[in-house]
A = this chain, B = another copy of it.
Amino acid sequence: MEDIPVKPAAASASFSGPFALGSLSAPDQASFPALVIPGGRVLDLRAALAEPALTTRQIFERWDVLLPRLHELAADPTAAWRPLEGLRVQAPVEPRQVFQSGANYRQHVIDLEVAHRSPDDPRTVEEARAEIAAIMDRRAAEDLPYVFIGLPSAITGPYDDVVLPSWAEQPDWELELAVVIGRPAQRVPVEEALEYVAGYTIANDLTDRATVFRRDMKAIGTDWLRCKNAPGFTPLGPWIVPAESIADPGDLRVTLKLNGDTMQDESTKDMLFGVARLVSYISQTAQLL
């Protein structure tokens, strides 16, 4: 029996709260930023806000000002709502910058490192697990997340086909909570960091496991460009849910199914560094947004 890939219908993705944001397109037409409400009804925000060139990125750049207006529109039954059905769901935002947090899911890192141990590693599985766990606990105590830079060009729509490059020998999925920033954040303390978050979405962070590590230069370690940044390696969305609709970004369930089989089912509770610590950490070096 042949495996028939199961693709979820765009309309099947539900979300918390009164509305979400996306980017949609009708066949052969330019994409538009969309307000999405439960029941699969959508509003073209270019038309509704009378800004013919508006993008979702610009909405997040003006988040504090636009949020009350989005609430009004979501509650307005007389607005020009149309069905989501028949529209193509694009990546919900084209960010200028992408930051990726590495080695941040405690259990996942332990599993990966044990599985990818060198064949001549003298440690037992238990010894290896205990050592890796100790390293992670020390990192958490020292408040030192590890963050690397991604390419916006790796982002693609959540239902788009991904063409794997011929050199990708061990392509692997990995769901990640994606955080969308709504105010320029530079050197913000942990306590205030969540005030800079406009919303959340989900990313499939594809990785070619065969090319993560540079075996030829051990000191350099990882090669993120090669293993994570081919075009299409970051399917994003479908929806960005406003931060105010999420009670706790540190308590979200993340589930990935492959042809109906559950391959990943975990909680953001397992994150070593939560969203606030990551946003604060990155903002010590770069300006977010």
Contacts and interface: CB of A to CB of B under 8 A. Distances in A.
Interface of A: 96-97, 99, 102-103, 113, 135, 138-139, 142, 144, 146-154, 165, 167, 186, 213-214, 216-226, 229-231, 282, 284-287
Given A151-B286, A154-B286, 20 more contacts: A97-B152, A97-B153, A99-B225, A102-B220, A103-B220, A135-B216, A138-B216, A139-B216, A147-B226, A148-B225, A149-B149, A149-B150, A220-B221, A221-B222, A225-B285, A225-B286, A226-B285, A229-B285, A231-B286, A231-B287
A50 to B, nearest CB: 21
Nearest to A221: B221
A229 B96 CA distance: 15
Nearest to A97: B151
Contact of A225 (B149, B153, B165, B222): B149
A165, A220, A229 — most chain B CB neighbours (10 Å) = A220
Identical chains in the assembly:
2
Contacts of A144: 216
A153 B287 contact: yes
A186 to B, nearest CB: 8
A144 B167 CA distance: 13
A116 to B, nearest CB: 9
Given A97-B151, A151-B97, A286-B153, A219 B221 contact: yes
A33 B102 CA distance: 39
Contacts of A154: 286
Contact of A151 (B138, B149, B214): B149
Given A97-B151, A152-B96, A146 B214 contact: yes
A96, A99, A154, A216 — most chain B CB neighbours (10 Å) = A216
Contacts of A229: 149, 285-286
A147 B219 CA distance: 14
B146 A220 contact: yes
A154 B96 CA distance: 13
Contact of A219 (B148, B153, B213, B285): B213
Contacts of A150: 149
Contacts of A213: 219
Contacts of A138: 216
Contacts of A284: 165, 167
9 contacts: A97-B151, A99-B225, A135-B217, A147-B225, A148-B149, A148-B223, A148-B224, A153-B287, A219-B221
Nearest to A220: B221
Nearest to A100: B225
A149 B228 CA distance: 11
A49 B34 CA distance: 36
Nearest to A139: B216
A203 to B, nearest CB: 16
